[in-house]
Structure 1
Amino acid sequence: MQFNKVFALLLLLSAACESMAQNKFQWKQASAGGYTYKYVTNDPMQTRFYTLKNGLSVILTVNHKEPRVVYRMAVRTGSNNDPKDHTGLAHYLEHLLFKGTDKYGSLDWAKEKPYLDKIDALYEQYGATKDSAARVAIYHKIDSISGVASHFAIANEYDKLMSNIGSQKTNAHTWVEETVYEEDIPSNAVDKFLAVQAERFRKPVFRLFHTELEAVYEEKNRSLDNDGAKMQEAMMAGLFPTHNYGQQSTIGTIEHLKNPSLIAIRNYYNKYYVPNNMGIILSGDFDPNAMIKKVEQTFGYMQAKPVQEYKSAPEKPITAPVVKEIFGPSAENMRICFRTPAASAHEAMVLDLASSILSNGKVGLFDLNLNMQQKAQGTQAGLMQYKDYGVFIMAGMPKQGQKLEDVKDLLMGQLELLKKGDFDESMIKAIVANTKLDLLQALDNSTSSAQQLMDAFIKNRCMQWDKQVSYLDDMAKVTKTELVATVNKYLNDKNYVLLYKRIGTDKSIVKVEKPAITPIETNAGKSSDYVKKMEAIAVGDIQPLWLDYEKDINLSKNGIADVLYVQNKSNELFTLYYQFDMGTWNNKLLPLATSYLQFLSTDKYSAEQISKSFYNIACNFNISASNEMTTVVISGLQENFEKAVGLFEEVLANCKPDEAALAALKSRVMKARANAKANKQSILQGLISYARYGAKNPFNSALSDAEIDQLKATDLVNELHSLMQYKHRIMYYGPLANDNFKNTIAKLHTLPASFKAYPAKVNFTPAVQTANQLLFTNYDMVQSEIAWIRNDVGYDANKEVVVNVFNNYFGGGMGSVVFQTIRESKALAYSTYAMYNTPSKKENPFYMMAYVGCQADKMNEAIKGMNELLTELPASEQRFELAKTGFKKDLETKRITKEGIIDAYLTAQQKGWKGDFRKDEYAALSALKLEDVQKMHKEQISGKPYTYCVVASDKKIKLDDLKTIGEVKTLTLEELFGY
């Protein structure tokens, strides 16, 4: 379902709104603090829509749940607006807007500028030159002058500014019709933050371009290894042969990536980054009357310009299926995709509802007729909505022995039922009710609110906000007749794009070649005068708020079971947990048994009736097993608490063996295992587990193929029937008073006289690295994935504070040593990080992990670069203070609420903490010095042996190069996965 149902569902929960007339959602105008704004009556977010004199949209919604503010700067431009001869430009520009202006990002702008002007001219010459030898010579000049210019540039001063402010989640993204810049800041830093953001867009300077360009090359090459990305591109090209949705990829063509123009990028910025094409969205803890004044004071300097909105010629109807085949090493899958109307169309909402009739995870036609009956490996449907058009997608994966064409027939068969109206009309009401359940908690989430408002701004739907907040009201009015007519209009047996993702070699891949780049100077530890000035500005304090487990959580007993209780005072939702301290390490059958439950019936109810019963009362249950824990979760509307819990207890206690369902499940498990072997991320995780624990490790210790084959239905049902005989804790977050809850759960949840002992747990001993070793697995890919692993000393709570600051300093963000060196200075990777990991339980050790994902031909340089950092830590007092400040402000503004209180308490128990350990960390921060971080690096990281994990194609790297690191062990997929 679309995200924009968040607001409408909240309205449906309001009794006042339920009783109001049809015109309950009306546009109104009001004034406060000297500013006029618009709003929609009965908007649960109480959103204010302002337009400044220069045309800048400012959208504000208040949330006082925690002292933070979520910020989005949304620009209505993306790859749709890229010039035809410079695709990928909007995405380039997004990267460059982190590089500073003439005021920050430079030690001496007057001296830096002439070199940047030369680089601009050289790129124009480079793009116009066809002779390969001449191009190499020109690029050598670009590289040389860029190196000189870098001595005046300060890499990532923007990130330093954000770290000083205490921002989290610094990021940005570009898509077909949007470019969005994202931050999450402490509420006491708004003035400083807005000043920096206004400066960011005043006069951006495109410095350090050729290393950032190389990061984009890396991003492009990563997309070539991503079969899902190739499916997406093929889908859009097939559906939109005219519109830029399908004709211009966001990341751009290889040819255009190789011939960038800084002049074209600057022209694009000047054309589209104008206030009447931009929107500031703020959601969080602030006074809106004061906030709008601050925004105008900082962004009022911007000058409006006419902006020509991208408009494509209308797409012609698709009159015959467009079939495309995509090849790659990952698991087979398929999609059937239809072009649907614009976001503003009423029919878009109807088709969104239709996608939920097919697939809602519980009782959709796909869910009951295909997934529950295990007729395919998995199927789903959904609507992907853009401004000008939407894409209705039906997707599936084949099970063992099944062809992609068979899955296509299954999906089309269910679509035919939908087109004939062969479904219960009451499902519409149930979908609306369950969307309430899914999205109610979004009211507490500033990020969700900001994202929703950003999406509305990009799609030009802010002035249709009345329709947004009435979305579910309107959906509830849709009749079966209207839905069937709409589906038949847009989803027929001819007007679709059919995608088959097959296993095979993609012969069309042409990677972006690695240019010769000399590492640049990043001037780490140095600051511009602007940054010094901004850092000197004091802000008001935010007092941290610690948990008091004697007050914030109630601990008691229900018979022999421990009960953990936190009351929900915000809404009428509950979550109930039964949690067992046993998992797959105690019993290998648990994950299969918990998966099996969804297909089982009882004497009273069929599996289908059970699923429908939960869905009809807007409740859910889930049961899952991890390595050391099994958890049952039941959630929903409190008014249906007793029905939901009672039904789950009935199902668990009385489910019946079903050999046919088990046979189908076994087949799907075997297929899932085969699919995992074709997934490079799964392979890397297998290597990491092997590095941490040796040949016998948690990753490869599941049931063998033979053990699965020999399983009988009674084996799994017996595990389910006996589950509640084992020791477990009961946890509740909901509106019931504690005594009422305990009385109710005592009636619903029968406990044994005494708990059974857990089955003996298999313990995996962390490996001790005594010498460098390299684990290698071959995979057909353009990139290489490299991880460094080292198990270290046992857990010590007193080390947590230095570990957290060290991670911020060394490898945890854009301003870290690792990112600045590997990506910014040396342009060796798009993705890189390094973390000294803290265990979740006091019995386990710390361990070090570093990662680089890079082009195969950069692997040797990347390994060398990371090894240098692991050996010697670059020292910067400034970077240390920023790392320390960032962690301090995180602690000050973090508010642990709702179910999080229970999670925090359990974490404290597992780690042996007394009380809220954050309080101890906060107190210890003031005494922490750079020398402490240096000491930790020297004692725990530097000069130590590591196990290197490498996933790459043996056709694109030289295994002999790896032998210089240490002993190379090539692992087969069978050794990694254990089957």
Structure 2
Amino acid sequence: VEIRKYYNKYYVPNNMALIMSGDINYDDLIKKIDKNFSYMVSKPLALYDPAPEKPLTQIQKVDIYGPSAENLYIAYRGYAQNTRQSLLLDLIGSILSNGKAGLMDININKQQKMLRANAGYNSMKDYGVFILSGSPKAGQTLEEAQKLLLEQVDLLKKGEFDESLIKATVANIKLAELQGYDNNDVRADATMNAFIQNRGTEWDKTLASTDAMAKVTKKEIVDFANQFFINNYAVLLKHKGEDKSIMKVEKPTITAVKTNANEVSPFTKTIISSPIKPIAPKFLDYKKDLNFGKAGIADVIAVQNTENGIFRMGYRFEMGSYNYKLLPYAAQYLAFLSTDKYSAEDISKAFYNLACNYNINVGTEVTTVSLSGLQENFDKAVALLEDVLANCKPNEKALEDLKGRLLKSRENAKLNKSSILGGLMSYAQYGADNPFNYGLSNDEIKNMKSSDLIYLLHNLTNYKHTITYFGPKALDAFSADIAKVHALGKDFTPAAPMKKFVYTTTDSNKVYFADYDMVQAEIRWVRNAGLYDPTNAAKIGLFNNYFGGGMGSIVFQTIRESKALAYSTFAVYSSPNSKDKENSMVAYVGTQADKMNEAVAGMNELLTVLPESDKSFDLSKN
């Protein structure tokens, strides 16, 4: 009854919004909206008006215990959306932590004083929350990590930060907005949030907030920080240990529910029977849609961006950690290195001031050096990136700190149930010689040498790679520009052979257990299923829709909805990411430990005998 009252009170036409973004004929759309929704009649609506929260006057501490790794959060109550205070806190969040040049980035992350540290502000309708968070490194207590985080707030309150951070932050926010509003989901979400927060009445403030931020002075930030950051925060300390306060209940009897997933409601029938214009698929034509050229001996693939002034460039290498185990560690090491011209801190600040981002992503088989930002800063950003790669210098202290963080991260991974489950999956598919285990041992990490890592970085662009570019410049102009700064020899250096793994063959059922202290049980089934065949793509998609890939599937409806044996479940025929790898049949049940036996039996039954439902099969096709 109360649910129905709530529905009737708030689910009324004058409390709704239709939000669409995309390739739409708006003149035609508004007529359809009027035709199909004009029957709705406005109803009395009393909007929710909460009582103001009581002021927080002291520090509140919460201790949580569990088997996973330690971390901490410090939270301050903020202000409502579109207020001056929230705008200042947004800006302060970036001054403290922006991934490159914030106080925490330079003073903690760059110096590796913690495993990680960051800060940020989340503004909501009535209040906001400003959060400092982090994870301690090996041998560091949560209290020591908390002290480090609060020290950065003290520096802010004293005004010990570069005023240029304000201008750079605004430039980076504008860049993020340009990139984000290219995406229809982002546009729709922004509109939806504006409706939720103020019914769209302050949309002009939302759009003008970045320009308003540009006018903020350092003095205003310091004055506000001293008023806001006082001893009235909440601190949450997550400890590794046993929670003594867990309460248990008796397991209830569960009766299977008859589901109606194979039934079609009148509403669904109306949608399915509605006439629609067939959508012609538009496939990428590599000969027409991509432009191919050369920059020295490197191939160039370019597409001109005619929408805005943003560029994205990459150096793509067909090699990765399967070729060089040290390569991912070299990429991490680079973040802490200086050159003859710049310190590591100066490099981070320079990229932030240019509103440009660079990243080295080392995969198992592919490595990408990517650079993106405003085209007006392209030349400076590329020159800086090339200087960093070619002239980075060893830093022995940074390497020792990195080794410590890597070893601590490994210890934390042993406490992470998802990481453990991933290791079991890899072992099941490949045996003892598997991708999960293929990496440096702890002893090998301890014995890593700067000279080996620096050699990989200095010689990275000597290996064969393709240059990709999406930006305002045409192919010829870009190729000419990049050739000036991206110096290449006459021939590429051949890469070391790539490590290959052998798939296991399954001739009998095998079970692998990993002990983990939790009240849940996570179970996966996996079987290798032969090499990829593109002619099976449509059948695989249909099978996954029907059997176990969605909420209406046989697996979900049987295991979760009918028998209540899982909080999450699926079963899919998974295709690999390259044609020389095998497909796999994968199933999963996440459940309570006391339901494990029933859940395993239920999934085994479905995997052994495929239930047939003509209605569900037809729905899966649609």
Q: Using structure 2 for the length normalisation, give the TM-score.
A: 0.97
State the 1:499 CA deviation: 1.2
Equivalent position of 2:330 in the other structure = 593
Matched, 1:765 2:502: yes
Equivalent position of 1:840 in the other structure = 577
2:141 aligns with one of 398, 403, 406: 403
Q: Which moved more, 1:458-467 or 1:522-531?
A: 522-531
1:871 to 1:743, Cα distance in 2 relative to 1, 3 A = same
Instruction: State the alpha-carbon separation in 2 of the partners of residues 528 and 360 from structure 1.
Output: 49
Instruction: State the alpha-carbon separation in 1 of the partners of residues 271 and 487 from structure 2.
Output: 62
Equivalent position of 1:639 in the other structure = 376
Equivalent position of 1:180 in the other structure = none
1:757 to 1:348, Cα distance in 2 relative to 1, 3 A = same
Query: Counterpart of 2:18 in 1: which secondary structure?
Result: strand
Q: Is the 8 A contact 2:338 2:344 kept in 1?
A: yes
1:692 aligns with one of 429, 444, 468: 429
Query: Counterpart of 2:161 in 1: which secondary structure?
Result: coil
Q: Which amino acid aligns with 1:658?
A: N
1:412 aligns with one of 125, 147, 150: 150
Instruction: State the alpha-carbon separation in 2 of the partners of residues 312 and 264 from structure 1.
Output: 19
Q: Which amino acid aligns with 2:336?
A: F
Query: Counterpart of 1:444 in 2: which secondary structure?
Result: coil
Instruction: State the alpha-carbon separation in 2 of the partners of residues 458 and 532 from structure 1.
Output: 31
Q: Is the 8 A contact 1:676 1:682 kept in 2?
A: yes
Matches within 5 A, 1:159-558: 263-460=1-198, 462-492=200-230, 494-510=231-247, 514-529=251-266, 531-558=268-295
Q: Which amino acid aligns with 2:555?
A: V
Query: Counterpart of 1:282 in 2: which secondary structure?
Result: coil
Q: Which amino acid aligns with 2:169?
A: I
Q: Is the 8 A contact 2:293 2:479 kept in 1?
A: no
1:788 to 1:874, Cα distance in 2 relative to 1, 3 A = same
Q: Which moved more, 1:565-574 or 1:870-879?
A: 870-879
Equivalent position of 1:796 in the other structure = 533
State the 1:286 CA deviation: 2.3
Instruction: State the alpha-carbon separation in 2 of the partners of residues 509 and 526 from structure 1.
Output: 41
Matches within 5 A, 1:109-148: none
Q: Is the 8 A contact 2:549 2:572 kept in 1?
A: yes
Instruction: State the alpha-carbon separation in 2 of the partners of residues 643 and 390 from structure 1.
Output: 38
Q: Is the 8 A contact 2:293 2:475 kept in 1?
A: no
Q: Which amino acid aligns with 2:381?
A: A
Q: Which moved more, 1:805-814 or 1:653-662?
A: 805-814
State the 1:264 CA deviation: 2.4
Q: Which moved more, 1:561-570 or 1:403-412?
A: 561-570
State the 1:633 CA deviation: 0.3
2:452 aligns with one of 715, 725, 735: 715
1:864 aligns with one of 596, 601, 621: 601
Matches within 5 A, 1:546-585: 546-585=283-322
1:626 to 1:534, Cα distance in 2 relative to 1, 3 A = closer
Query: Counterpart of 1:284 in 2: which secondary structure?
Result: coil
Equivalent position of 2:474 in the other structure = 737
Q: Which moved more, 1:725-734 or 1:370-379?
A: 725-734
Residue-by-residue CA offset, 1:863-917 (whole Å, 9 max, x unaligned): 11211221122223333333233xxxxxxxxxxxxxxxxxxxxxxxxxxxxxxxx
Residue-by-residue CA offset, 1:110-136 (whole Å, 9 max, x unaligned): xxxxxxxxxxxxxxxxxxxxxxxxxxx
2:399 aligns with one of 662, 667, 673: 662
Query: Counterpart of 1:467 in 2: which secondary structure?
Result: helix
Equivalent position of 1:747 in the other structure = 484
Aligned residues: 622
Instruction: State the alpha-carbon separation in 1 of the partners of residues 283 and 420 from structure 2.
Output: 41
Instruction: State the alpha-carbon separation in 1 of the partners of residues 62 and 561 from structure 2.
Output: 38
State the 1:733 CA deviation: 1.2
1:800 to 1:322, Cα distance in 2 relative to 1, 3 A = same
Matched, 1:805 2:568: no
Residue-by-residue CA offset, 1:775-804 (whole Å, 9 max, x unaligned): 111112121111110001112121112112
Q: Which amino acid aligns with 1:794?
A: L
State the 1:709 CA deviation: 0.8
State the 1:530 CA deviation: 5.0
> Which stretches in structure 2 are left out of the alignment for 5+ residues?
none
Q: Which amino acid aligns with 2:107?
A: N
Query: Counterpart of 1:623 in 2: which secondary structure?
Result: strand
Residue-by-residue CA offset, 1:594-652 (whole Å, 9 max, x unaligned): 00001000111101111111111111110021111111001111111111111111111
Residue-by-residue CA offset, 1:265-318 (whole Å, 9 max, x unaligned): 222222222223333322223233443443344344444444444444333332
Equivalent position of 2:522 in the other structure = 785
Q: Which amino acid aligns with 2:592?
A: Q
Q: Is the 8 A contact 2:82 2:206 kept in 1?
A: no
Matched, 1:624 2:382: no
Q: Which amino acid aligns with 2:471?
A: G
Instruction: State the alpha-carbon separation in 1 of the partners of residues 28 and 249 from structure 2.
Output: 49
Matched, 1:775 2:531: no
1:528 to 1:279, Cα distance in 2 relative to 1, 3 A = closer
Instruction: State the alpha-carbon separation in 2 of the partners of residues 530 and 343 from structure 1.
Output: 38
State the 1:464 CA deviation: 0.8
Instruction: State the alpha-carbon separation in 1 of the partners of residues 350 and 147 from structure 2.
Output: 29
State the 1:331 CA deviation: 1.0
Instruction: State the alpha-carbon separation in 1 of the partners of residues 284 and 165 from structure 2.
Output: 43
Residue-by-residue CA offset, 1:344-388 (whole Å, 9 max, x unaligned): 321111111011100011100001111101111110000122211
Q: Is the 8 A contact 2:82 2:205 kept in 1?
A: no
Residue-by-residue CA offset, 1:507-545 (whole Å, 9 max, x unaligned): 333366543232222245443455445423321222111
Query: Counterpart of 2:314 in 1: which secondary structure?
Result: strand
Equivalent position of 2:465 in the other structure = 728
Instruction: State the alpha-carbon separation in 2 of the partners of residues 512 and 283 from structure 1.
Output: 48
> Which stretches in structure 1 are left out of the alignment for 5+ residues?
1-262, 886-979
Q: Using structure 1 for the length normalisation, give the TM-score.
A: 0.62
Instruction: State the alpha-carbon separation in 2 of the partners of residues 382 and 348 from structure 1.
Output: 11
Q: Is the 8 A contact 1:511 1:782 kept in 2?
A: no
Query: Counterpart of 1:423 in 2: which secondary structure?
Result: coil
Q: Is the 8 A contact 1:524 1:876 kept in 2?
A: no
Instruction: State the alpha-carbon separation in 1 of the partners of residues 262 and 337 from structure 2.
Output: 62
Residue-by-residue CA offset, 1:136-164 (whole Å, 9 max, x unaligned): xxxxxxxxxxxxxxxxxxxxxxxxxxxxx
State the 1:559 CA deviation: 2.7
Q: Which moved more, 1:700-709 or 1:753-762?
A: 753-762
Instruction: State the alpha-carbon separation in 1 of the partners of residues 412 and 405 from structure 2.
Output: 10
Query: Counterpart of 2:586 in 1: which secondary structure?
Result: strand
1:302 to 1:759, Cα distance in 2 relative to 1, 3 A = same
Q: Is the 8 A contact 1:595 1:624 kept in 2?
A: no
Instruction: State the alpha-carbon separation in 2 of the partners of residues 304 and 795 from structure 1.
Output: 56
RMSD over aligned Cα, in angstroms?
1.7
Identity over the aligned pairs, expressed in percent? 55
Instruction: State the alpha-carbon separation in 1 of the partners of residues 530 and 52 from structure 2.
Output: 64
State the 1:482 CA deviation: 1.1
Q: Is the 8 A contact 1:582 1:758 kept in 2?
A: yes
Instruction: State the alpha-carbon separation in 2 of the partners of residues 298 and 442 from structure 1.
Output: 31
